[in-house]
Structure 1
Amino acid sequence: MKNRKKNLDRLFFSQWFLYSIFLAILFLPNLFLFFTETTTPLVARFCNIFLPLSVYGWVMTLSPRPGKVFWFLFPVLFLGAFQLVLLYLFGESIIAVDMFLNLFTTNSVEALELLDKLMPAVVGVIVLYIPALVLAAFTWHKGNRLSKSFRYRCRLIWSLTGVAGFVLLAASYVTDDRYSVKTDLYPVNVCYNIFQAFDREMRSDHYYETSRDFSFGSQAEHDEDIPEIYVMVIGETSRAIDWELYGYTRNTNPLLSRENELIVFPYALTQSNTTHKSVPMLLSAASAENFNSLYQQKGIITAFKEAGFYTLFLSNQQPNHSFIDFLGKEADEWNFIKDSPRKDVNAPDEELLKYFDNVLKEEHHKLFVVLHTYGSHFDYRERYPAIFSVYKPDDITGAKPCFRNNLINAYDNTIRYTDYFLTSLIDRLRRSGKTSAVLYTSDHGEDIFDDRRKLFLHASPVPSYYQMHVPMLIWLSDSYRYDFPTIKETLDRNKNKGVETSVSFFHTMLTIGGIDTRYRNDSLSLASPLYHERKRLYLNDHNKPCTLDDIGLKKEDFDMFQRMHIVTQ
């Protein structure tokens, strides 16, 4: 028995075992990416095996103590753990720039809600990495070493592997003109994305300075004697396919379905599946084609303010030092209701209407309001009062495909609550008797284990149909339709055309509100007879405009676009 124990100890702490186990854990993300990144050419995927493996192997021989090297590579291990959790969540792609920015812009409550549902992945990486780090620390302290001859042999093997890797690297550039080390070779691409994330964060920190002198030069086109209220409502994580107004079989819009004057745009797509990019595009003239204009220009609130409107921004989300905050705080009055210690962190969206009512009582002659809701953001069950628990069971016990029925029930209940929220807003405007209008859309949609890919949530590096197809609605009051009949007629003519909300929302609101500025583009406004459909674009992770054919959409996505009669070109 003692001899067997000695033999096991000798094997367990042998240089071959320690070196191999540490190297395997370093290399594991590359191995997974080889099988998940199926849209990447095969030669590039092999390059992602040979070249990093040779580097890891060489680095592990730089010191005779493998445990010491393993600990010095902790940043690489941390990224590897992050990468494996991402693959568990989205099934593909490297850690994107937007994923790092989400760390800056996601509040702690959201993070804890998500983390709680991702425990299998979190536990998995803990079980994998923590014992390895403990073993490394123990052997470092114990003094386990690699012999010179062992390190020499390893270096010879990894040198030959490196030569093969560089040959594959050259072949990758030759066979694919889009290939680049900084975007396609792990972990170089992740490090590049970290740099990009910090660069964007630093640039956004200077927003007030770079946009200080900007002006829309806005002027009001409407009669100054007409009392007006215009409201932009920005939803959260609401996908069109779960709306009854868009053909869903469930009665998720019992109230809006009875609004005869509601104008529904069935072919609306967002240009981003991340809140920190999609919402600023809705609030400004920025789009996939000119996203960087955000750093120099102000938003639609300032455009209305310059034209003489009293402006109000109300959000049911916490401030996160992003462009959403910057653009929202341009208003005469703003309030992030979750930022108050007296408010429940999961206050329902109708809390916004209480603040809105207070402003209505002030009888502003010209009023422009932006309402940023919490909508259908996960954890769905936390987004609606118990009375709206129509579809049951809606308790959410885990983020797994086997719980999809419960997840869908809870999600559809959030849509019914949004239906109630929007109808309540419309009723208030109707009772005011003022010329008014409401524009609603969502920042992006959501995956809920909808097909064989088993995708969940949003903000994945590669989007899906479910994340891109969003509802877009416009309501005009009786007095508005009377005062501006051609706007209603134009909206009806354009409602069945393709729409990119990230492009058209801003310009349509300006047209409806009668705001004249050189930054208004009537060819992008659904309320203008000059509106025309454009090529569908998407803002990729590196803030470049891409066609839908170039962003990695799968057959399942194009099948859904076709089913919903959405033209993707």
Structure 2
Amino acid sequence: MSFAKASALTINKKLSGHFLILLLLSVAIQLWPVLFTQPVRFAVRIALCNVFLLLAAAAVYRYLPGKIIAFILTALLTLNFAIAFSTWNVYQSEFNTVFAMSILATHLAEAKSMSGLYLRSIPVVLGYFFVTWYAIKSLSENLSGRMKTLGVILLVIYVGWYSTANWLKKRKDLEVYYPLSARILTNTPFYTGAEFIIAHRDSALAEKISQKNVHYPALQYQDTGIENYVVIVGESARRSNMQLYGFNQETTPVESAFKQNALIFNHAIAPASATVLAVPMILSKADPDNFTADRLADNIVSIARKTGYHTEWISAQGHSGKSNNYIVAIASTSQKAQWINTQYDTELLPALDQALTVPGKKFIVLHINGSHEIACDRYPPSASVLNSGDKFEDCYNNAIRYTDFFIGEVAKRLQGSASSILYFSDHGLEKNPQLESLYMHGSRNPSKEAYDVPQFIWYSQKALDSQKRQLGWVQENWPTTHNYELMLSWLGISTGIENCHSLLETCYQGATLLPVMDGGRHIFDYDQLRDTFSSPARDTPWRKAKANSL
């Protein structure tokens, strides 16, 4: 007998002798992220179902088909753990629908860029796989047939009980938002799969957005004297890290020079802490309480096209299908939509140059990567200007500065014409000193940092010469969910409905409520959130969206 085979047999024998320890260890590792993010009752359900699953796998393990089943089960359990553990490890959050939508909508370049955040999880994930595999193997070899049969029976009873209970709930419409299959999976160690089911359902619903025809009482266009309107949808930009807003480093030299030609919002507040929800609400009539297909269909891209604008969507953020999420559904209502595989945002500029050659009035959206994690990948080495010695702080601030450079390049192309730029970030980021890369998306128990964003409207000199424009600083809180109404006025569009949410209208009325949504679709009052991630945690009250929300 070879040394390797003898060693393997010795290891197998030792492991088999500790089958109960392996069983408990496997379950404990699976519960690791659960205990930090979910109620105790949820952890108990997952633990029970996990034990029953391992016992059932042990019951069939001795046969070849059983070994295949055990391997597939172990792989699926490992995948669930990998997703949940990585989310908790990086974001200190449970895995939720927004994360699932982001994964379904991601592209290869973004996946490569983000992979660095999750590399440190790999040893733990691999360890879990082998512990679980040997737990099943040792249980098969050491438990009596009666115990293994009992495990199968308990698993059937458990799944049957929760399936029936959730089916009855569904019949009574107590869980309208959640598909039945998602509710059932939530009670198993495959609970992350529930979020993917919801995300896939949401992606299918997003297709309805482009199919709906919104009626306006009296759609009209009034000449604004501006030929080119460009909207730059930023990504993950913290207002507090921008020189324009008083930051102590030169992160926005271009934007800071815009002050005389711009309307700058000092307290812009995003509606959600993730792109897949924030951008659709900013560009449409949807809001955290009313996230419906009808309201998403009433979006600024569609209405600009209906009033005679040539509309283009140019994105550095990839997509996995024409209806993969709400953003793509809105983008697809434009006359031309393109997703460009870029390394840096400046690679969108040739497409912008081409769009600007189209005659007549134009409405162009540039959706950039900005300072999205990992920020070190968002700019070329030549743009590494800020060097304080703190790598990830410098990476983030240099990414903000590179976005500033990109905005400057767009402005250069527009300066000789009557043009205007609206820039805003989709959401902010929280600063977590315990995280190596420092900055992260807000999710569970968010702070105001997750929603505090920059926003301004810039006018070229020719645009300023043609008509009087509103310039200066807007000091009051501005929910970017009102950007739809703001852009209607900016573009000279009237729908026949009074537009008093627009700062540019004489009837303007400021916002009294500032609802914001976290990654789990809980709705908070912005004013009740803690100021920063490092502020003392508080039990902030929240509510669910209205029953007809997606």
Counterpart among 502, 507, 513 of residue 535 in structure 1:
513
Structure 1 residues 246 and 252, CA gap change in structure 2 (3 angstroms) = same
How far apart, in 2, do the equivalents of 1:281 and 1:414 lie?
25
- In the other structure, the counterpart of 1:425 is 410
3-state DSSP of counterpart to 2:214: coil
- In the other structure, the counterpart of 1:254 is 253
- In the other structure, the counterpart of 1:166 is none
3-state DSSP of counterpart to 2:365: strand
> Which amino acid is 1:146 matched to?
L
Counterpart among 199, 202, 218 of residue 200 in structure 1:
202
How far apart, in 2, do the equivalents of 1:312 and 1:431 lie?
21
3-state DSSP of counterpart to 2:273: coil
Structure 1 residues 299 and 23, CA gap change in structure 2 (3 angstroms) = same
* More displaced 10-residue stretch of structure 1: 269-278 or 351-360: 351-360
- In the other structure, the counterpart of 1:473 is 456
- In the other structure, the counterpart of 1:86 is 87
Report the alpha carbon displacement of residue 439 of structure 1 after superposing the two structures with TM. Answer: 0.9
The answer to whether the 8 Å contact 1:65/1:145 transfers is no
Structure 1 residues 88 and 241, CA gap change in structure 2 (3 angstroms) = same
* More displaced 10-residue stretch of structure 1: 244-253 or 473-482: 473-482
Structure 1 residues 54 and 113, CA gap change in structure 2 (3 angstroms) = same
- In the other structure, the counterpart of 1:330 is 333
> Which amino acid is 2:387 matched to?
K
Report how many aligned residue pairs link the two structures: 499
The answer to whether the 8 Å contact 1:279/1:443 transfers is yes
3-state DSSP of counterpart to 2:22: helix
Structure 1 residues 157 and 243, CA gap change in structure 2 (3 angstroms) = same
How far apart, in 1, do the equivalents of 2:9 and 2:491 lie?
82
- In the other structure, the counterpart of 1:372 is 367
Structure 1 residues 350 and 528, CA gap change in structure 2 (3 angstroms) = same
The answer to whether the 8 Å contact 2:265/2:456 transfers is yes
The answer to whether the 8 Å contact 1:274/1:443 transfers is yes
- In the other structure, the counterpart of 1:498 is 477
Structure 1 residues 311 and 319, CA gap change in structure 2 (3 angstroms) = same
The answer to whether the 8 Å contact 2:514/2:525 transfers is yes
Report the alpha carbon displacement of residue 71 of structure 1 after superposing the two structures with TM. Answer: 4.4
Counterpart among 484, 491, 494 of residue 516 in structure 1:
494
How far apart, in 1, do the equivalents of 2:345 and 2:150 lie?
65
Report the alpha carbon displacement of residue 149 of structure 1 after superposing the two structures with TM. Answer: 6.7
How far apart, in 2, do the equivalents of 1:186 and 1:523 lie?
49
> Which amino acid is 1:96 matched to?
N
3-state DSSP of counterpart to 2:304: helix
Consecutive unaligned residues of structure 2, counting only runs of 5 or more, are 1-7, 156-174, 538-550
- In the other structure, the counterpart of 1:302 is 302
How far apart, in 2, do the equivalents of 1:407 and 1:546 lie?
30
How far apart, in 1, do the equivalents of 2:385 and 2:80 lie?
42
- In the other structure, the counterpart of 1:144 is 141
Matches within 5 A, 1:122-521: 122-133=122-133, 135=134, 144-147=141-144, 187=189, 190-208=192-210, 210-211=211-212, 213-216=213-216, 219-223=219-223, 226-259=225-258, 260-293=260-293, 297-321=297-321, 322-338=325-341, 345-346=342-343, 348-362=344-358, 364-392=359-387, 405-432=390-417, 434=418, 436-450=419-433, 456-458=439-441, 460-481=443-464, 483-485=466-468, 488=470, 492=473, 495-501=474-480, 503-518=481-496
Counterpart among 40, 48, 55 of residue 42 in structure 2:
48
TM-score (norm 1): 0.76
* TM-superposition CA deviations, 1:73-99 (whole Å, max 9, x none): 433442123211211111232x10112
* TM-superposition CA deviations, 1:43-74 (whole Å, max 9, x none): x42x2344433343344444663855854643
* TM-superposition CA deviations, 1:90-146 (whole Å, max 9, x none): 1232x101121122101112112222342111222112223532x257558xx6141
The answer to whether the 8 Å contact 1:497/1:533 transfers is no
> Which amino acid is 1:78 matched to?
L
- Overall identity of the aligned pairs, in %: 20
How far apart, in 2, do the equivalents of 1:310 and 1:145 lie?
72
The answer to whether the 8 Å contact 2:313/2:331 transfers is yes
How far apart, in 1, do the equivalents of 2:491 and 2:10 lie?
82
Report the alpha carbon displacement of residue 549 of structure 1 after superposing the two structures with TM. Answer: 7.6
How far apart, in 2, do the equivalents of 1:319 and 1:10 lie?
50
Consecutive unaligned residues of structure 1, counting only runs of 5 or more, are 159-177, 339-344, 395-404, 562-569
How far apart, in 2, do the equivalents of 1:9 and 1:317 lie?
48
- In the other structure, the counterpart of 1:12 is 15
RMSD: 4.0
* TM-superposition CA deviations, 1:227-257 (whole Å, max 9, x none): 5222211011211111001111001111221
The answer to whether the 8 Å contact 2:98/2:519 transfers is yes
Matches within 5 A, 1:72-111: 73-74=73-74, 75-93=76-94, 95-111=95-111
Q: Is residue 525 from structure 1 mapped to residue 526 from structure 2 by the alignment?
A: no
How far apart, in 2, do the equivalents of 1:154 and 1:332 lie?
59
